[in-house]
Amino acid sequence: MPAIVIDGARVAETILAETHAQAAEVERSSGRKPCLATVLVGDDPASHTYVRMKTNRCRSTGLESRSHRVPATASTSDVVDLVTSLSADDNVDGILVQHPMPAQVDERAVFEAITPGKDVDGVTMASFAAMSLGGPGFHSCTPAGIMHLLDAYDVDPTGLHAVVIGRSPILGKPVGMLLLARNSTVTYCHSRTVDLPRIVADADIVVAAVGQPELIKGAWIKPAAVVIDAGYNAGNTGDVEYAAAVDRARLITPVPGGVGPTTIAVLLQQTVRAAQTGITIGSRPRLSPGAPSQAVG
């Protein structure tokens, strides 16, 4: 029997409806809308499209969106200075720095200029530590969106073998930490993994996040496994050989329409949470005394 196709758009709409109501409450109580500032460096067409989609979603969900475009010739210090100023702006609740950035810009330096309490995209080292250690902080948006998808389709990771293919600091690594926190047994794979087909064949949950079209073959998928394809490649192709995998998996995400919608929904959800309470991480507090200390996302 073919797999049930996970409807990411439907799950995202549920998150956004909740977020819209919370954003309206923030506006009623504070006199202003929760504000997400986006920073886009350069002229990458895909990045412009993503930022436009997020801006439109902000407006339809009751958030304010402020867009900052930086020339492709900008230096690391130019971008860091902008992000630092946004971090200090009390009228900005969350900051999204769109990536990739031009080669001359040090992405990590830019990310670390985001004060952790406004890191609603979950890209700083402080946020990764929070995901790994269960402390206060925001989750990386795509990994958090993946966890929403699993919950929406009643997939309890407890005791299941999850194989994550990909080790990026804002997708592969953090999704493994979130699955581990939910009592899954996690195996990380990457470009140097030996005998990848054998490891994938043992997975109850497969998270493909490597950025190589159809690297994960349908024949590798364990019957009745849950397949989460977080890849997005040219031609609307994911990292999983969908046509073959759909006949073996129990649940599978399409590309597009699977992981993507929940990523944006979580970004807005976390922006509203930042506006509601703030987050205390490290030495730069934005949380009032007595607020809860668990991770959000």
CATH number for the domain spanning 63: value is 3.40.50.10860
Among 33, 54, 118, 222, the one annotated catalytic: 54
Burial of 293 (0-12, 13-18, 19+ CB in 10 A): exposed
Say if residue 98 is in the same domain as residue 189.
no
Position 297 scores a pLDDT of 39
Say if residue 109 is in the same domain as residue 160.
no
Q: What CATH number should be reported for the domain holding residue 194?
A: 3.40.50.720
Say if residue 96 is in the same domain as residue 148.
no
Mean pLDDT for all residues in the chain: 93
Q: Residues 235-260: what's their mean pLDDT?
A: 97
Kindly state whether residue 54 falls inside one of the protein's structural domains. Answer: yes
- What type of residue sits at position 201? A
Say if residue 45 is in the same domain as residue 100.
yes
Kindly state whether residue 38 falls inside one of the protein's structural domains. Answer: yes
Q: Residues 74-83: what's their mean pLDDT?
A: 98
Say if residue 60 is in the same domain as residue 107.
yes
Position 281 scores a pLDDT of 55
Say if residue 89 is in the same domain as residue 163.
no
Q: Comparing 90 with 281, which gets the higher pLDDT? A: 90
Say if residue 103 is in the same domain as residue 177.
no
Kindly state whether residue 265 falls inside one of the protein's structural domains. Answer: no
From 268, 263, 262, select the one nearest 65 (Cα to Cα). 268
Angle subtended by helix axes 259-276 and 141-152, to nearest 10: 110
Q: How far, in whole angstroms, is CA 66 from its chain's centroid?
A: 20
Residue 284 has pLDDT above 80, yes or no: no
Among 93, 121, 204, 229, the one annotated catalytic: 121
Clarify whether 89 is annotated catalytic.
Answer: no
Q: Residues 255-282: what's their mean pLDDT?
A: 89
Clarify whether 212 is annotated catalytic.
Answer: no
- What type of residue sits at position 98? Q
From 133, 125, 102, select the one nearest 39 (Cα to Cα). 102
DSSP classification of residue 139: P
User: Which residues touch 218 (CB under 8 Å, ≥6 apart)?
Assistant: 240, 241, 242, 243, 244, 245, 246, 247, 248
Compute how many other C-beta atoms are within 10 angstroms of the C-beta atom of residue 232. 17
From 244, 177, 236, select the one nearest 207 (Cα to Cα). 177
φ/ψ region of 164 (left if φ > 0, alpha if ψ in -120 to 50, else beta) reads beta
Say if residue 178 is in the same domain as residue 228.
yes
Residue 295 has pLDDT above 60, yes or no: no
Kindly state whether residue 37 falls inside one of the protein's structural domains. Answer: yes
Say if residue 86 is in the same domain as residue 170.
no
pLDDT tens digit string along 206-228? Answer: 999 999 999 999 999 999 999 99
Task: Domain count for the chain, please give it.
Answer: 2
Kindly state whether residue 182 falls inside one of the protein's structural domains. Answer: yes
Say if residue 85 is in the same domain as residue 151.
no
Alpha-helical (H) ranges within 31-118 are 45-60, 76-87, 107-112
Half-sphere exposure of 73 (CA within 13 A, CB side): 0
Say if residue 98 is in the same domain as residue 209.
no
Say if residue 233 is in the same domain as residue 156.
yes
Kindly state whether residue 252 falls inside one of the protein's structural domains. Answer: yes
Kindly state whether residue 99 falls inside one of the protein's structural domains. Answer: yes
% the chain with pLDDT above 90: 86
pTM for the model: 0.92
Domain that holds residue 182: 141-260
Position 278 scores a pLDDT of 63
Residue 294 has pLDDT above 50, yes or no: no
Among 22, 33, 98, 229, the one annotated catalytic: 98
Clarify whether 33 is annotated catalytic.
Answer: no
Q: What angle do CA 249, 269, 179 make, to 5 degrees?
A: 40
Kindly state whether residue 133 falls inside one of the protein's structural domains. Answer: no
Q: Residues 166-182: what's their mean pLDDT?
A: 97
Determine contact, residues 166/211, Cβ cutoff 8 Å.
yes
